[in-house]
Structure 1
């Protein structure tokens, strides 16, 4: 059965790292909450995020796994890999049966229920937008509340977040408040406005 699932996964996603399923997960008005489905945070066992994502895709369960490109040099060769922004975390939009199926993969430590589906959908949509735009991101942990702003121009136009000062540089922090984590990027000649 596992071999069949692996073959189906490879056929479906072509062996590439799948970070979002379906592709329209963050379009306006989609998948905030339904009667059966709700947002859940899956806390995976170590280094199992991509494997869980592949299995969820084969089961047609909507999810989001924020992945960033990382460049490393080993033995003089430069390689690029896609790594999870939040180690061990994956966001699933599923019903109770799909939650049980995810647990049955034996790759999860626990499932965390999300009470405010609109907030986490909004936070994840902002983060997905920043990653899609190719902004260089830095992981931020244990975020403190601050003034919320919206970027009015430049590459990050339309994103909302908090401006912080790190090592003499202004950075825009896009947070996933549920996890108290997020990612930040340099503010580069961008006009911002308070929300």
Structure 2
């Protein structure tokens, strides 16, 4: 447990849901009064007879809960929740800043994708202009392009944002 945290302090935790159960698990947690964040993105789906914009989970089988450590059992007893995510043998937690950064990324109109590739740590950078101004991340080479990768280390994935090199600065 980090310095200053106690059993009365809430913290963000990534949780793994059963396949395609993200929205139902989100609703069940909300009904219990648990602060929950399910990152969604709009996607155009093609069926044989039509196209339709739908909202689907940005990170499949993941959602985030803001709870006290004493509420972990209540989360696990929620329909659709499979388990907490572990990192180095402990239940992973995330700083508020990472959740806010994720919300900012999804609210902006930038071209983004998600990868479960283990991206190698690179140079720390900050975006200096545009809708994602002041967002921090790491530069990685991906598909031969320079891109900003926001690394969410405790959830096992990285978010790749296509940003021109002229918009970033070293920190």
Could you state the TM-score of these two structures normalised by the residue count of structure 1?
0.72
Match of 1:107 in 2: 80
- Secondary structure at 1:178 match in 2: helix
Aligned 8 A contact 2:13 2:66 in 1: yes
Could you state the TM-score of these two structures normalised by the residue count of structure 2?
0.81
Greater relative contact order, per chain length (Cα 8 Å cut-off, separation 6+): 2
Q: Structure 2 unaligned segments of length 5 or more: list them.
A: 86-90
Q: How many residues align?
A: 161
Offset of residue 33 of structure 1: 5.7
Closer, same or farther: CA 33–39 of 1 in aligned 2, 3 Å:
farther
Runs of 4+ in 1 over 3 A off after TM superposition: 32-35
Q: Structure 1 unaligned segments of length 5 or more: list them.
A: 1-31
Offset of residue 190 of structure 1: 4.3
Closer, same or farther: CA 91–100 of 1 in aligned 2, 3 Å:
same
After superposition, give the CA deviation of every residue in 1:93-137 in whole Å (9 maximum; x if it has no partner). 11355432322223222123225x43xx22222121111112221
After superposition, give the CA deviation of every residue in 1:173-194 in whole Å (9 maximum; x if it has no partner). 1121102312112113742111
Closer, same or farther: CA 154–41 of 1 in aligned 2, 3 Å:
closer
**Residue of structure 2 aligned with 1:137, choices 107, 112, 117:** 112
Matches within 5 A, 1:4-153: 35-36=7-8, 37-96=10-69, 98-112=71-85, 113-114=91-92, 117-118=94-95, 121-141=96-116, 142-153=118-129
Question: Does 1:188 pair with 2:164?
Answer: yes
What is the root-mean-square deviation in Å for CA atoms of aligned residues?
Answer: 2.3
